[in-house]
Copies of this chain bind each other. A is one copy, B any other.
């Protein structure tokens, strides 16, 4: 249920995703939804965002820690994103972005769930960079750049239906990391 909701919200945003779509796709009856999510669509979306964030966190962690060094770790992350996006026909970009932008301004719980998701990814990157020798401060700043550039590149790639922005960004991020390493 939450899984399918997460996919729908990621692809269409909050308001474009109707309850009907959520329940048919999720295979649940209408009334059960409000039993498990008394807060309705809003709560469902917030929990879906949390789930999405955790899942992607796991995927990124695997990609990072399977890599030989920090530079190829960044490469692996970008490669993963490219694969996810092209495999889905450019429907799946960042699983939080669409909801962040079309519901984050109206619903505080949703905004917080999204914000926490981004923060979790940023912490992951920061810890990874620290484990490769960067100071806490430089790691945090670099992690923000990495995350922002990846998010933006996903947005551009979605708009263009073309992974080129992700690839162009990958090159720059690789060298940015390389330069910061001790």
Q: Which residues of A contact B (CB under 8 A)?
A: 11-16, 90-91, 93-94, 96-98, 100-106, 111, 114-115, 118-119, 140-142, 144-145, 147-153, 155-156, 158-161, 164-165, 168-169, 171-173, 176
In angstroms, Cα B13 to Cα A151, docked, is: 17
Q: Which of B13, B148, B165, B173 contacts A153 (CB 8 A)?
A: B148
Residue among A13, A103, A153 facing the most chain B CB atoms (10 A cut-off): A13
Determine the distance from Cα of A91 to Cα of B161 in the docked complex, in whole angstroms.
27
- What DSSP secondary structure best describes chain A's contact surface? helix
Does B152 contact A148, Cβ atoms closer than 8 Å?
A: yes
Contacting residue for A101 out of B13, B140, B144, B152, CB 8 A? B13
Question: B13, B119, B145, B159: which contacts A169 (Cβ < 8 A)?
Answer: B145
5 other A-B residue contacts (CB within 8 Å) besides A93-B101, A97-B97, A141-B171: A12-B102, A13-B102, A15-B16, A100-B155, A104-B159
Docked Cα-Cα span, A93 to B135, in Å, equals 31
Q: A103, B152: Cβ atoms under 8 Å? A: no
CB of A141 to closest CB in B, whole Å: 5
- Cα separation A12 to B147 with both chains bound (whole Å): 23
Closest to A119 in B: B160
Cβ of A161: which chain B residues have Cβ within 8 Å of it?
A: 111, 115
